[in-house]
Chain A
Amino acid sequence: MTVSIIRFGGSNCDRDAERALEHLDIDAEIVWHEDGLPEDPSGIMLPGGFSYGDYLRAGAMAARSPIMAEVREAAADGVPVLGVCNGAQIGCESGLTEGAFTTNESARFQCEHVYLRVERDDTPWTAAYEEGDVIEIPIAHGEGRYEIDDDRLAELEDDDRVIFRYCDENGETGPDTNPNGSKHNVAGVIGDRETVAVLMPHPERVTLPDVGPTDGQGVLQGFESA
């Protein structure tokens, strides 16, 4: 298993992701998007940052770059794909996952620690946790409000595709524990397959023990269990 971390012009969490994965003994390499995926990729991470200056909409340009066609193909073949922050925006823009991440309700960039409730523990990305667990993790985004039409959201919820919701430290979700105004406090969803997931918060920033909490390790360990 070697996770290919795709670097777009403006990615800035790629090296953090590499270090976090290596700390977990998961091999990782940074791949420049114009070079394309390696043959037979075994894992793909779309890191955070500001690809293409986030012009038009966050993730819109990167989602339509040639390497994303390769990523969609690999994802359809069952290769684990994780999108974080800008990577989550790219994931939704490219159709890997449903919905859209758009301007925060506050209309501001927000950088803070939040709590997430684990909504199911039988996906690779959440297998390290128990359903109902509360994890502490940072967000750093201006466009993280999950938006989707109500009927489609109901279908996603029926299909158990929501894997993380914003909550308080006791796991209660509601308008007061929703940092960006996401519909139904959605912070992370899976795609058609459980091996594809996106989330706005940054697990790679809460993985190395020397920088604080390590609640994000379980998400990244998903590459091994996928």
Chain B
Amino acid sequence: MSALQQPRIRIPRSARPGEAIEIRTLIEHPMESGIRGRSEGAVPRDMLNRLVVRLNGETVFAADLGNGTSANPYHVFHVRMERTGEFEFLWTDERGRSARATARVTVG
């Protein structure tokens, strides 16, 4: 099984206590629903179905991805930073493969 692409994360390296930081995530993936090209030879289904974002091990945001999510899934959300922490971003596909990224945000 081939590996998933390495995701791209845009996140600040530091924040003030209580600051809301913006996090942008992107992972290259075709998100083939299996519906496309049904008439002339179907393109097999190949979908990421979940993104989980954890901060110091606690889930802060997650997404269940359906057929209506675009190729190269892109998500932007905002986290309030109370203390220095380690983010983990984990995408998984329907076949159980995963792609992971981490980022540290220093608060002070």
Same complex origin of A and B = no
Interface residues in chain B, defined as those with a beta carbon under 8 Å from any beta carbon in chain A: none
Query: Which residues from chain A sit less than 8 Å from chain B, CB to CB?
Result: none
